[in-house]
A and B are shown apart, each in its own frame.
Chain A
Amino acid sequence: MSQLDTTSSGTSAEVKRWWPDVAAASLGAIMAMLFVVAITIASELSSSLMSSLKSMTGHHWISKGLLSLGVFLAITIIAHPILSRRHPKDLTIWGIAVTATALLGAVVIILFFVGHYLTG
C-alpha cells in the first residue's frame, strides 16, 4: 500500500496512485453538485432547456447525470496535476466546503421543489 510521507513543511512527497488527488476530487465534486443544483432549477423554469436535455439522451435526468459526471471528471482531471503537488496536511477547508455544498445543495433543491409545487 502506498503511503504519503509528511515533510517538515507539512507537505507530502509524491507517490504512485490510481485514485484522484483528494483536493482535485473535492473541487470536482463541489462544482458538479453546484452544477446539479443550477441545471435542476434552470430546467424546471425553462421549458426549452428541459426539451434540450430530453433530446440529448431521451430523458432529462439521464442528461443531467451525464453532464454533471462530465463536469466532475473535467474539473478533477484538470485540477489533479496542479493540486496533487501540494498534499496539504490540513484538509479542514476542503472538508467544510464539500460537506456544506452537499448539505446546502440538498436544502436548496428541496425548498425549490416545495415552492415550485405550491405555486403550481
Chain B
Amino acid sequence: MTLLIAPHVVFGELAILSFLWVIVEVIRGPSAAGVLRAKVASVLGVLAIFGEWVLAGTYYTVDYGKNVKPAILGGPWPWAHGIFTEAKEHIYLFLPFLSVVLLALVWQYGGLMKGNRSARFMVYGVAGISILLLALSAIMGYMISNGYREALVH
C-alpha cells in the first residue's frame, strides 16, 4: 500500500501541469489549435484529479490510518497529523469539483476566449486556485512524511 504514495504524487503533479497548460494556452489568446490543446489539458486535469482521489484515498483509508497515523501521533510531531493530514484530506475534496468547472469553462467558452476577458480571467482564477491547493497539498504531504520519519527515528 505504501507503493501508492508515489503514484498519488505523480497524479498530483500531472494535474498541476494540466492546469498550468490550460492557463498558458489561454494567455496566448488561443487560436483554434490552442483551444483544442486547452480542451485536452482540461480533460487530462480532471482524469488526474479523480485518479489521484482514488489512489490517495486507497492509501489513506487502508494503510495510513492503521500504520502511519498512530506512529505520528505517538511521535514528536503529532501536529503533522492533527493539522496537516486533517487539513489536506479535506481541502483535497475541493479539487474534483474545481477541475470539472475548468473543463466546462474551457469546452463551453473555448472558442470565445480571445474576445472574452471575463472567461479568460475565470480560467486564471479556477486553474490558479487549483494549482495553489495542489501545491499546498504537496507541502502538507511533505510535513506529514517528515512527521512519520521523526516518529520512526525517535
Contact = CB atoms under 8 A, between A and B. Distances in A.
Interface in A27-83: 28-29, 32-33, 36-37, 40, 58-59, 61-62, 64-65, 68-69, 72
Contact of B108 (A22, A61, A72, A102): A22
10 contacts: A4-B112, A22-B108, A28-B97, A29-B94, A33-B97, A61-B60, A91-B109, A92-B118, A95-B121, A102-B129
Interface of A is mostly: helix
Given A1-B39, A91-B109, A106-B136, 8 more contacts: A24-B104, A61-B61, A65-B57, A72-B96, A91-B105, A91-B122, A95-B122, A117-B83
Contacts of B104: 19-22, 24-26
Nearest to A6: B112
Interface string A76-111: 000000000000011110111011001101100110
A17 B98 contact: no
Nearest to B108: A22
Interface in B22-74: 35-36, 39, 53, 57, 60-61, 65
B146 interface: no
Interface in B86-126: 86-87, 89-91, 93-94, 96-98, 100-101, 103-105, 107-112, 116, 118-119, 121-122, 125-126
A114 interface: yes
Contacts of A69: 96
